[in-house]
Chains A and B, each alone.
Chain A
Amino acid sequence: MAKMLMKGNEALALAAIRGGCTHYFGYPITPQNEITEYLAREMPKAGRVFLQAESEIAAINMVVGASAAGGRVMTSSSSPGIALMQEGISGLAAAELPCVIVNVQRGGPGIGGIQPSQADYYQMTRGGGNGDYSILALAPATVQESAEMIRDAFQLADKYRSPVFIASDGMLGQMMEPVEFGDTQPTLMAEKPWAVVGHGGKRKPNTVKTLALDPLVLEEMNLARQKKYAQMIATEIRYENFQVDTAEIVLCAYGSTSRIVKNAIDLLGQEKIAAGLIRPQTLWPFPDAPFQNLSKKCRRVLCVEMSCGQMIDDVRLAVNGRLPVDFFGRTGGIIPAPEEIVGQVKLLLGRK
């Protein structure tokens, strides 16, 4: 298949169809509407189901029903919509129902704005809803990676019987880039003997539920889920190292911001300042290891986000006091410029 020029949101949508998504439920919200509109147009042509829900709350609960019934299900939204979905997301994690949830982040809090943001890091990696649970969160930085991560997200969702986030943002969703889909067929869906499909008189009824009134039973269920999360931490962490080994300062950024940081690193190189980048591709589980194996050359770490500083918590936990960790960010929908990141690095390193 030849390369196509597509918006990030449209590439996510097409990749979902190619990844075998059978059912999509969504509610309009900017800046992710291209996903919903693309799927409204293309899902029926592919023999799949698109349905516009009356709210994000309904959309995520339709995801619950369709996933429980054995579908390969996706929804998408943007920050305030994801906040509305959190009850359902907690329920999906608790009921161990696979699905993919795309979050094209915009500025907050509250209704906020519609420009790009990364201020949902907490919302996606700190639970967001009630209870002890974690959600795998994949963070693409290009349109190509958006397409590839959607495909992987469906597989991971089935593998772990778990919701999976795609952490995009308004810039990545709206920008156009060449993208190639390859000729791979969607992976087969996992067998789902737990799904509610009618017992057919052949087995006891299946029940998909999360209620556990006996605290000992609930604790056992929580501990079982923690084992699953431990396996995710052991096997699913992804990150990219860019010029880290020679760097005297290592920057950490994900998604769109990581690309601006790479530009800043190039500019710094022209001034003989060696900087590198650790780019988490999974926000949860967070890649601790690269921060624990930094070379002796590295003097400090700078976390750059389109937020007031959220991922920096995980960077500090990973660095664990070995080096100073600083923050630079723009918020409210402002995209940081490479020059201001360069300025911040020079300030931290005491260079003119």
Chain B
Amino acid sequence: MTVVFSKTPGLTENETHYCPGCTHGTIHRLVAEVLVELDLLEDTIGCGSVGCSVLSYNYLNVDMVESAHGRAPAVATGVKRVHPDKPVFTYQGDGDLASIGTAEIVHAAHRGEKITTIFVNNAIYGMTGGQMAPTTLIGQKVTTAPDGRDIAHSGMPLRMSEMLAQVPGSAYIERVSVHNPKAVRRAKRAIKKAFTYQMERKGFTMVEVLSTCPTGWGLSPIDSLKWLEENMIPYYPLKVFRSPEEDYPQ
């Protein structure tokens, strides 16, 4: 019998706690596969965050340190300055990165910190039960905007990739999605590029991954994938916003 498929050694044997249909599991696996394929798994140090992925250290087969809400880029900075030659990443959601942690992510990028940030954007606070995030779409109903997000009251959804691409220290910024197999393959290529550029010491690297939250959105897993495609991608276009292969005005 030939083994045609097996679980990546980049993941532990633990079962995840994620809700059915949540795409965190897919994104974890992409990170794990990339680290294995780049032969970085043994040296990698991860920085967790607060939100649904708070327990990511139980699933990713690498040394990890927990971070307080929003602070993972600062924690990762501390780790990287001790181990400048080792791969260091943060894994953060949109509440963590785009709300409470904006200062830390902007300044990690600003310093050109040689880390990789996996930014999982599902347009909602999942862990705490579906509150409004800076990324929540206009009209999207959430528990703290029960009639839907209103621009006059809460502003427009924040596009972090576009914003961080403007920061000189950023080397590579791409937004991807995981709503279908083609998108998943593209997401994996992006994550691989990000870690590769980190090891080449190009600067700050981030991959924003559009992700689903069926529980928070009140949709089935299938409908969630469709909702992501029809609602999130038009506002959050999938593209490379910054790459070391292109010149940017200084």
Contacts and interface: CB of A to CB of B under 8 A. Distances in A.
A and B: partners? yes
Interface of A: 22-23, 25, 49, 51, 53-55, 57-59, 61-71, 73, 87-88, 91, 95, 196-201, 205-211
Contact of A198 (B47, B63, B66, B75): B63
Contact of B78 (A69, A87, A198, A211): A69
Given A87-B68, A91-B68, A58 B107 contact: yes
Given A58-B107, A87-B68, A199-B62, A69 B83 contact: yes
Given A55-B103, A58-B74, A58-B104, A68 B42 contact: no
A207 to B, nearest CB: 5
Contact of B104 (A23, A61, A68, A205): A61
A207 B48 CA distance: 10
Contact of B57 (A23, A63, A205): A205
A68 B57 contact: no
Contact of A196 (B41, B42, B79, B81): B79
Given A64-B78, A68-B78, A205-B62, 4 more contacts: A73-B78, A91-B68, A198-B62, A205-B63
B207 to A, nearest CB: 21
Contact of B65 (A22, A54, A88, A196): A196
Contacts of B82: 22-23, 49, 65-66, 69-71
B77 A62 contact: yes
Interface residues of B, number: 38
Contacts of A210: 66
A104 B77 CA distance: 25
B63 A199 contact: yes
Per CB-CB distance, the 9 closest pairs between chain A and chain B, nearest first, are A65-B78, A61-B74, A66-B78, A65-B75, A196-B63, A62-B78, A54-B107, A69-B82, A198-B43
Contacts of A61: 67-68, 71, 74-75, 78, 104
23 contacts: A53-B107, A54-B104, A54-B110, A61-B104, A62-B74, A64-B65, A68-B78, A68-B79, A69-B65, A69-B78, A71-B81, A73-B78, A95-B65, A196-B79, A197-B63, A198-B63, A199-B42, A199-B63, A200-B42, A206-B63, A207-B63, A208-B64, A208-B66
B42 A201 contact: yes
Contacts of B58: 207
A88 B68 CA distance: 8
Contacts of A54: 103-104, 106-107, 110
Contacts of B81: 23, 49, 51, 62, 65-66, 71
Contact of B83 (A25, A51, A57, A198): A198
Contacts of A208: 64-66
A140 to B, nearest CB: 27
A207 B64 contact: yes
- Most chain B CB within 10 A, of A62, A65, A200, is at A65
A65 B63 contact: no
B86 interface: yes
B120 interface: no
A65 B76 contact: yes
Contact of A207 (B43, B44, B57, B106): B57
B45 interface: yes
